[in-house]
Amino acid sequence: MAEKKTKLDMYLVIKTALEENEGNPELIGFVDKEIDMIRARAERNKERREKKYQEDPIYEAVLELISDKITPAHEFTDMVNEYLAKKGYAEEATKSKVVARLNRAIDGGLAEKTDIVVDGTKVKGYALLGAVDAIARREAAKKAAAEA
Protein backbone atom coordinates (compact mmCIF):
# COMPACT_ATOMS: atom_id res chain seq x y z
CA MET A 1 0.00 0.00 0.00
CA ALA A 2 1.29 3.45 -0.88
CA GLU A 3 2.35 5.77 1.89
CA LYS A 4 -0.12 8.52 2.72
CA LYS A 5 0.93 11.90 1.36
CA THR A 6 0.70 14.78 3.80
CA LYS A 7 -0.19 18.32 2.96
CA LEU A 8 3.46 19.27 3.42
CA ASP A 9 4.54 16.54 0.97
CA MET A 10 2.08 17.80 -1.62
CA TYR A 11 3.21 21.42 -1.28
CA LEU A 12 6.86 20.34 -1.63
CA VAL A 13 6.00 18.47 -4.85
CA ILE A 14 4.13 21.50 -6.18
CA LYS A 15 7.04 23.80 -5.30
CA THR A 16 9.54 21.49 -7.04
CA ALA A 17 7.39 21.32 -10.16
CA LEU A 18 6.95 25.10 -10.24
CA GLU A 19 10.67 25.74 -9.79
CA GLU A 20 11.64 23.21 -12.49
CA ASN A 21 9.24 24.81 -14.96
CA GLU A 22 10.08 28.39 -13.97
CA GLY A 23 6.55 28.91 -12.70
CA ASN A 24 4.84 32.03 -11.49
CA PRO A 25 6.93 33.67 -8.70
CA GLU A 26 3.75 34.67 -6.85
CA LEU A 27 2.59 31.06 -6.84
CA ILE A 28 6.00 29.87 -5.60
CA GLY A 29 5.83 32.51 -2.84
CA PHE A 30 2.36 31.28 -1.86
CA VAL A 31 3.55 27.66 -1.69
CA ASP A 32 6.60 28.70 0.39
CA LYS A 33 4.31 30.56 2.81
CA GLU A 34 2.05 27.51 3.16
CA ILE A 35 5.06 25.24 3.79
CA ASP A 36 6.34 27.61 6.49
CA MET A 37 2.90 27.74 8.14
CA ILE A 38 2.62 23.93 8.19
CA ARG A 39 6.08 23.56 9.72
CA ALA A 40 5.39 26.28 12.32
CA ARG A 41 2.10 24.62 13.31
CA ALA A 42 3.83 21.26 13.65
CA GLU A 43 6.50 22.80 15.89
CA ARG A 44 3.88 24.52 18.09
CA ASN A 45 1.95 21.26 18.42
CA LYS A 46 5.13 19.38 19.35
CA GLU A 47 6.00 21.94 22.04
CA ARG A 48 2.45 21.86 23.40
CA ARG A 49 2.50 18.05 23.58
CA GLU A 50 5.87 17.99 25.33
CA LYS A 51 4.76 20.61 27.83
CA LYS A 52 1.53 18.75 28.53
CA TYR A 53 3.34 15.51 29.40
CA GLN A 54 6.39 17.00 31.13
CA GLU A 55 5.00 17.45 34.59
CA ASP A 56 1.82 15.49 35.19
CA PRO A 57 1.47 14.46 38.85
CA ILE A 58 -1.61 12.36 38.12
CA TYR A 59 0.20 10.29 35.48
CA GLU A 60 3.18 9.97 37.82
CA ALA A 61 0.83 8.66 40.52
CA VAL A 62 -0.82 6.22 38.12
CA LEU A 63 2.54 4.78 37.10
CA GLU A 64 3.62 4.53 40.72
CA LEU A 65 0.41 2.86 41.94
CA ILE A 66 -0.48 0.45 39.16
CA SER A 67 0.16 -3.14 40.16
CA ASP A 68 -0.61 -6.70 39.12
CA LYS A 69 -3.82 -6.55 41.18
CA ILE A 70 -6.84 -5.62 39.03
CA THR A 71 -8.22 -2.40 40.48
CA PRO A 72 -11.51 -0.68 39.53
CA ALA A 73 -11.23 2.91 38.31
CA HIS A 74 -13.09 4.40 41.28
CA GLU A 75 -10.71 2.69 43.76
CA PHE A 76 -7.75 3.73 41.64
CA THR A 77 -8.98 7.35 41.81
CA ASP A 78 -9.05 7.19 45.61
CA MET A 79 -5.53 5.73 45.63
CA VAL A 80 -4.26 8.48 43.32
CA ASN A 81 -5.82 11.20 45.49
CA GLU A 82 -4.16 9.73 48.60
CA TYR A 83 -0.82 9.61 46.75
CA LEU A 84 -1.18 13.23 45.60
CA ALA A 85 -2.06 14.37 49.13
CA LYS A 86 1.02 12.61 50.56
CA LYS A 87 3.21 14.27 47.92
CA GLY A 88 1.74 17.69 48.76
CA TYR A 89 -0.08 18.39 45.50
CA ALA A 90 -3.14 20.62 45.82
CA GLU A 91 -4.71 19.20 42.67
CA GLU A 92 -7.41 16.58 43.17
CA ALA A 93 -7.79 13.89 40.56
CA THR A 94 -11.24 13.16 39.19
CA LYS A 95 -12.18 9.71 37.94
CA SER A 96 -12.13 10.92 34.33
CA LYS A 97 -8.60 12.36 34.73
CA VAL A 98 -7.35 9.12 36.27
CA VAL A 99 -8.99 7.00 33.55
CA ALA A 100 -7.40 9.24 30.88
CA ARG A 101 -3.96 8.66 32.44
CA LEU A 102 -4.66 4.92 32.73
CA ASN A 103 -5.58 4.84 29.04
CA ARG A 104 -2.31 6.64 28.25
CA ALA A 105 -0.48 3.90 30.20
CA ILE A 106 -2.41 1.29 28.20
CA ASP A 107 -1.47 2.99 24.92
CA GLY A 108 2.15 3.06 26.10
CA GLY A 109 2.11 -0.70 26.67
CA LEU A 110 2.43 -0.43 30.46
CA ALA A 111 -1.05 -1.49 31.57
CA GLU A 112 -4.22 -3.21 30.46
CA LYS A 113 -7.90 -3.07 31.31
CA THR A 114 -10.58 -5.67 31.65
CA ASP A 115 -14.20 -5.94 32.69
CA ILE A 116 -14.75 -6.95 36.32
CA VAL A 117 -17.82 -7.21 38.53
CA VAL A 118 -17.87 -5.11 41.70
CA ASP A 119 -20.96 -5.27 43.95
CA GLY A 120 -22.97 -6.77 41.09
CA THR A 121 -21.98 -4.01 38.65
CA LYS A 122 -19.73 -4.51 35.65
CA VAL A 123 -16.87 -1.96 35.68
CA LYS A 124 -13.43 -1.55 34.12
CA GLY A 125 -10.45 -2.81 36.07
CA TYR A 126 -6.84 -1.80 35.45
CA ALA A 127 -3.59 -3.69 36.09
CA LEU A 128 -0.03 -3.98 34.85
CA LEU A 129 0.33 -5.47 31.39
CA GLY A 130 0.14 -9.26 31.60
CA ALA A 131 -1.48 -9.35 35.03
CA VAL A 132 -4.98 -10.05 33.70
CA ASP A 133 -3.81 -13.19 31.87
CA ALA A 134 -1.83 -14.37 34.89
CA ILE A 135 -4.85 -13.96 37.17
CA ALA A 136 -7.11 -15.78 34.70
CA ARG A 137 -4.63 -18.68 34.51
CA ARG A 138 -4.37 -18.83 38.30
CA GLU A 139 -8.18 -18.89 38.71
CA ALA A 140 -8.51 -21.58 36.01
CA ALA A 141 -5.93 -23.71 37.82
CA LYS A 142 -7.79 -23.27 41.14
CA LYS A 143 -11.07 -24.23 39.48
CA ALA A 144 -9.49 -27.31 37.86
CA ALA A 145 -7.95 -28.36 41.18
CA ALA A 146 -11.29 -27.96 42.96
CA GLU A 147 -13.07 -30.08 40.33
CA ALA A 148 -10.46 -32.83 40.52
Largest CA distance in the chain: 85
Q: What is the pLDDT along the chain (148 residues), one digit of tens a residue?
A: 567 888 988 988 888 888 888 878 888 899 899 999 999 999 998 888 777 666 788 888 888 888 888 889 999 899 999 999 998 888 788 999 999 989 888 888 888 888 888 888 898 888 887 766 666 666 666 666 667 6
Over the stretch 86-105, which tens digit does the pLDDT of each residue have?
Answer: 988 887 889 999 999 898 88
Q: 115 near 76, Cβ under 8 Å? A: no
pTM of the entire structure?
0.57
Q: Find out whether 38 and 11 touch, Cβ atoms under 8 Å.
A: yes
Dist. CA 74–CA 116, nearest whole Å: 13
Q: Is the separation of the CB atoms in 121 and 136 below 8 Å?
A: no
Round to whole Å and give the CA distance between 99 and 77.
8
- Rounded to a whole number of angstroms, the distance between the first and last alpha carbons of the chain is 53
Amino acid 53: pLDDT: 63
DSSP string, 8-73: HHHHHHHHHHHHHTT--HHHHHHHHHHHHHHHHHHHHHHHHHHHHHHS-HHHHHHHHH--SS-EEH
Q: Which of 58, 45, 47 is nearest to 100 (CA)?
A: 58
